[in-house]
Amino acid sequence: MNEWMNNPALKDIDPAKLELIQMAAARTKGKAGRDLAPVMLALITSANRQGIRFSSDEVSLILDILKEGRSKEEQEQIDRTIRMTSSIFQKHMS
């Protein structure tokens, strides 16, 4: 599942953000779609404590990474979960 690290969009991302993304990817491995929201919120909260803010494009990229290799149903579950919690995420993004 680490093919995502070859994503060209990651080449310009801040190394501190990339480290947080790698941690989130490791924590979500094997989890169902509905279990990803708490991991994403923890990622963003942890980043905020370090003075790091993710742009909406970066969050979209992270979600694409987390959905990689999952079934269509799981990807839809992730999308539904994120839509339901989007107001929480918006408060923590730049």
pLDDT score of 64: 80
Q: Give the residue with greater pLDDT, 50 vs 83.
A: 50
6-15 burial: b if 16+ Cβ within 10 Å, else e: eeeebeebee
Q: Lowest mean pLDDT: which of 4-8, 12-16, 46-50?
A: 4-8
What is the average pLDDT across 37-47?
77
Instruction: Output the pTM of the full model.
Output: 0.68
What is the average pLDDT across 45-73?
82
What's the pLDDT band for 57 if we cut at 50, 70, 90? Answer: confident
Distance from the Cα of residue 47 to its chain's centroid:
12
Question: Which among 14, 57, 20 is positioned nearest to 40, based on CA atoms?
Answer: 20
